[in-house]
Amino acid sequence: MDASALKGRRIIVGVGGGIAAYKACELVRELGRAGAEVRVAMTEAARQFVTPLTFQALSGHPVLTDYFDPSQEGNFGHLDLARWAEAFVVAPATADLLARLRAGMANDAVTTSLLAFRGPVVLAPAMNVAMWDNAMTQENVAALLSHKRFTMVGPGAGLLACGDVGEGRLADVPNIVAAVAARFSPGPLAGRRVLLTAGPTREFLDPVRFISNPSTGKMGLALAHAARSQGATVTLVLGPVGAVDRTGLEVVDVVSAEDMAREVLSRVEAADVFIATAAVSDWRPETRAPQKVKKGATPAPENLRLVRTPDVLAEASRRVAGQGHRPLLVGFAAETERVEEHAREKLERKGLDAIVANDVTAPGAGFGTETNRVTVLTRSGARQELQGSKDAVARGILDLLRTLPRPGQGG
Ligand code: CTP
């Protein structure tokens, strides 16, 4: 994290009414330590948990609690606050506060200031897991994040204050500080559009059965988040992988290889980088029965006829081939033997700029692991080995990609 990005920045912390409000005290202090100037606005519910005096002492400024109070409004009211600030953090963003923000309401010190504010907003939600999982909360969050100005950090999973276990904990304070800092530091991939595929595909033979593989999409997600944190606009075309952190990403959910190909081909020309990490099923059943195939079916479906699915990466490569400004194309090669030889063959065959070769039989590599060990090979002949957590490997891959010449510019 580059906390120096916060030096001299003017930040509002909007505190909602939840038990995590006490952690907002530490957030205000840490933002101050990083050199930011902080002012606090509190909802009425927040004042049930922490007193304004605490925040006044920590921020060194009076706290906005009541926009009907003439002394507060006359001094530095909600409009002054909104004009003054360069970033707005809502922590904890409770279910109720998110709902009111989404509705554009202005019925307390936090919502009024936020509605009048035009700059970047960081939401740090915290609530009970059932409230977080509720479709209404999820819709409110999705609607808020559809505005480019809004980003979210957390919530984390773990033991909640109410005794439940699950998602709903306020993100750790250093992560919130980092998320705010990220709004000020453009990052090396600022303005770049990164398109990725991740996860498995499912090729159904009837409504209840499919061909798939154990991919969890972790490496692709790690790359997506690394690119996002370096300032890129990230679109992730994602096969079925269950609940994952979608913060800051545009996620396009797909099921089959054909869906994935369609969604990628409609977007690849606009991308600056396309990274294919998905474990796409190479075959699908030739036909898909409209109803569940019964055991006693005649003729017995013992022989499943398979046909090839589209090669998403190869088709994307053909689509952009020869274009003056085409995206950098990066593939993954999951191999079990003669790893580099097979990977280099794929690099050539699919017309790629780089390929990340992965020996899935090596310990600490492959499907579902937290770590990875890869060798990146580039068209220009560079070779680099990377090892560590999937996040570290993701950053290493992006660092290497940044050194490659942009296609169509002598590369
Ligand atoms: N890929 C893809 N669409 C497919 C198959 C693969 O986009 N239908 C992409 C993967 O995301 C990966 C790269 O192509 O980036 C290599 O995938 P892999 O399955 O290892 O290669 P294949 O071309 O399927 O070759 P083989 O099965 O012979 O190993």
**Beta strand 371-378 with 354-359: parallel, antiparallel or unpaired?**
antiparallel
Atom of ligand 1 nearest to the CA of 313: 7
Lowest-confidence region among 11-15, 163-167, 281-285:
163-167
Q: What pairs with residue 13 in β-bridges?
A: 40, 89
Beta-carbon contacts of residue 38 (< 8 Å; ≥ 6 apart):
11, 12, 13, 28, 31, 32, 58, 59, 61
How buried is residue 300: exposed, middle or buried, by Cβ count under 10 Å (0-12/13-18/19+)?
exposed
Residue corresponding to tokens 């995590």: 20
pLDDT at 186 over 80: no
162 labelled catalytic: yes
Tokens of 208: 């209840």
* Cα angle value 373/376/380 (rounded, 5°): 170
Say what the pLDDT of residue 257 is: 98
77 CA to centre of own chain: 35
Say what the pLDDT of residue 411 is: 38
**Mean pLDDT computed over 86-95:** 96
- The residue from 103, 162, 190, 307 that is catalytic is 162
| Gap from CA of 348 to ligand 1 centroid (Å) | 13
| Gap from CA of 339 to ligand 1 centroid (Å) | 14
- To test the pocket of ligand 1, the residue of 202, 311, 345, 348 to mutate (highest count of ligand atoms within 8 Å of its CB) is 311
Beta-carbon contacts of residue 121 (< 8 Å; ≥ 6 apart):
87, 88, 89, 90, 114, 149, 150, 151
Domains of the chain: 3-182 (3.40.50.1950), 193-401 (3.40.50.10300)
CB-CB contact of 308 with 236 (8 Å): no
The 3-state DSSP class for residue 334 equals strand
Long-range (24+ apart) CB contacts under 8 A made by 393-396 are 393/219, 393/222, 394/219, 394/222, 394/223, 394/225, 394/226, 395/226
- To test the pocket of ligand 1, the residue of 196, 273, 280, 342 to mutate (highest count of ligand atoms within 8 Å of its CB) is 280
* Cα angle value 361/217/281 (rounded, 5°): 75
- Residue 292 has φ and ψ, to the nearest 5°, of -55, 130
| Gap from CA of 307 to ligand 1 centroid (Å) | 15
Atom of ligand 1 nearest to the CA of 332: 15
Atom of ligand 1 nearest to the CA of 334: 20
The share of the chain scoring above pLDDT 70, in percent, equals: 96
pLDDT in tens, 106-129: 999 999 999 999 889 999 999 999
The single-letter code of the amino acid at 232 is A
Rounded-to-integer distance, Cα 241 and Cα 247, Å: 16
**Beta strand 193-198 with 273-276: parallel, antiparallel or unpaired?**
parallel
b/e sequence 183-194, b meaning 16+ C-beta within 10 Å: bbbebebeebbb
The DSSP symbol for 293 reads P
By alpha-carbon position, which residue is closest to atom 17 of ligand 1?
333
For ligand 1, which residues put their CB under 6 angstroms from it? 197, 257, 276-278, 280, 282, 309, 311-313, 331-334, 346
Confidence of residue 139 (pLDDT cuts 50, 70, 90): very high
| Gap from CA of 191 to ligand 1 centroid (Å) | 29
| Gap from CA of 280 to ligand 1 centroid (Å) | 7
pLDDT at 1 over 80: no
pLDDT in tens, 153-181: 989 877 777 777 778 999 999 989 989 98
Atom of ligand 1 nearest to the CA of 316: 7
- To test the pocket of ligand 1, the residue of 219, 306, 312 to mutate (highest count of ligand atoms within 8 Å of its CB) is 312
| Gap from CA of 69 to ligand 1 centroid (Å) | 64
How buried is residue 229: exposed, middle or buried, by Cβ count under 10 Å (0-12/13-18/19+)?
buried
pTM of the model: 0.63
pLDDT at 74 over 80: no
pLDDT in tens, 335-366: 999 999 999 999 999 999 999 998 888 877 76
Using only C-alpha atoms, the chain has a radius of gyration, in whole angstroms, of 25
Atom of ligand 1 nearest to the CA of 257: 8
| Gap from CA of 149 to ligand 1 centroid (Å) | 36
By alpha-carbon position, which residue is closest to atom 24 of ligand 1?
282
Residue corresponding to tokens 């303005």: 191
By alpha-carbon position, which residue is closest to atom 25 of ligand 1?
346
pLDDT in tens, 25-59: 999 999 999 999 999 999 999 999 999 999 999 99
